[in-house]
Homo-oligomer: A and B are copies of this chain.
């Protein structure tokens, strides 16, 4: 350990250089803390602060009111029978997959699924079969694809897949597939369906029962104005005994939760933001309107928005041949767009991208959206 000291100085007081920018990174928009969550961070920052009055398990804590959040507010918000908090949407997905399957079972998921859905299935040692999307320019996941893919699994393995998953919306194109129809198809084959709502739960109204899904997954740091990592997990009554099975040696502790999950300030920021998060889902129409306006403005500058059109979500993917063309001769090459935006205090499009990129307009004011549109206009028409 003697040679450790050389590394220590750099860890002490690190600033976030993107503070004060307009951040249009899809990862960042829905996780910006409310003022209430910022106060909760300071109040509950110490390691295990929420455990001062623990009666045996995280979801049972009455002071602070975590029990009421997990067992009363959250199931209503998700439209499902039972809910828990986890260490993130991917941890929710793994908990479902691991508890519901045996090694070597099959899962069907959409080709547009987040990488972490694939990795969770790999960790659960499942075989994966993907429902293809329609490719450029729409990248649609069609409900009928689930029937075809389930049939394929049956042909190859002799059995139905144990689970299916649909991403709502996907993290690239912001497409919202027809989940009701997908759920109906999966249930015809007796396959329970997971809804990955990492980009919807906390941004827009989502109700598991109305959509007909058996499991619902959300992300606190992605879409519920919470400090990460934290996720939510909803399970229908039919499967809750299996997913939330208790330890034979420690009766208060659930095996898939490893006893307790988001045991710190993360859950307190989720609670603190929750009233505003509920409220903002009631104004989703305004977000969609902003996204469509922004898309039309960028298309007016020669960019092409891929995915659903008209668009129904703040997460959008653009093809920008005009910017790619400019990058061929621009100072900075393919980094020119990043630099030009940075000079205008706009962050969130990955450095080096010009031809294709994604962004989000969620919670960005119309003024700031106009600033972003003007920036693209100035860059394209200098």
Chain B residue at smallest Cβ distance from A78? B1
- Find A38's partner among B45, B72, B249, B275 (CB 8 Å cutoff): B45
Question: Do B13 and A39 touch (CB < 8 A)?
Answer: yes
- Given A119-B253, A228-B266: A221 and B47 interface contact (C-beta under 8 Å): yes
Question: Do B250 and A1 touch (CB < 8 A)?
Answer: no
- Given A12-B272, A207-B1: A47 and B73 interface contact (C-beta under 8 Å): no
A287 is an interface residue with CB less than 8 A from chain B: no
A54 smallest CB distance to B (angstroms) = 8
Residues of B within 8 A of A28 (CB): 46-49, 51-52
Question: Do A47 and B222 touch (CB < 8 A)?
Answer: yes
Interface string of A215-255 (1 = CB under 8 A from B): 00000111001111100000000000000000111100101
- Please give the count of copies of this chain that the complex contains: 2
A179 is an interface residue with CB less than 8 A from chain B: no
Question: Do B41 and A228 touch (CB < 8 A)?
Answer: no
Instruction: Determine the interface band of chain A, counting residues with CB < 8 A from chain B.
Output: 35 or more
A319 is an interface residue with CB less than 8 A from chain B: no
Question: Do A122 and B248 touch (CB < 8 A)?
Answer: yes
A266 smallest CB distance to B (angstroms) = 7
Interface pick from A150-158, A188-196, A257-265, A309-317: A257-265
A65 is an interface residue with CB less than 8 A from chain B: yes
- Given A68-B10, A73-B4: A31 and B18 interface contact (C-beta under 8 Å): no
Residues of B within 8 A of A262 (CB): 229
A129 smallest CB distance to B (angstroms) = 13
- Given A17-B63, A122-B248: A47 and B116 interface contact (C-beta under 8 Å): no
